[in-house]
Structure 1
Amino acid sequence: MLRERVITALVLLALLIPAVIAESPLPFAVLTIVLIGAAGWEWGRLCGLPRAGAIASGVVLAVACACMGLLWQIEIPAEAWGAVAVLWVLGGAI
């Protein structure tokens, strides 16, 4: 078990270091979104969702985070951001 965790940590470190030191923020953003999607998939599995549901939760979470990352460039009123945050939090309780 420890060996698997060490190997996983080394692989993630090998992916993270080049993404962090790259001149463009795009590699780090892509890596972060992929890891967020994997975390959503794992969370779905921990919640007992069927395989398709766990994959869907990971994909939905990754797409939502990617959209949020792209939306910062658009000027949106603070009330809209507040409504989105409330929906996000309440949606997590479902």
Structure 2
Amino acid sequence: GSRLLVERSIKDRFLPMVIEALGTWKPGNPLDPATNVGALVDTQQMNTVLSYIAAGHTDGARLVAGGKQILQETGGTYVEPTIFDGVNNAMRIAQEEIF
């Protein structure tokens, strides 16, 4: 899934652990055994995901990690795994599926 809901009372302890775990995610060629995150299906989908990331920022969510296109030199459509904090139910990134 594209969402992780965390109880407020544990968020401050949990968020650093998730950010640390994110460092083990390795986007890349799916034929490489070290890869555990593949590319998005095409440029249109990548641009859609990047527009959701921009909307989250514009709507007031705090970008904690990721959020950028990466590995452009490969010609692939990769976006860093992304974490937002401070998302509320009125925000587009909370209401729509992003992947």
> Is this a same-fold pair by TM over 0.5?
no
Greater relative contact order (Cα 8 A, min sep 6): structure 1 or 2?
A: 2
Q: TM-score, normalised by structure 1?
A: 0.29
Q: TM-score, normalised by structure 2?
A: 0.28
Which structure dedicates a bigger proportion of its chain to strand?
A: 2
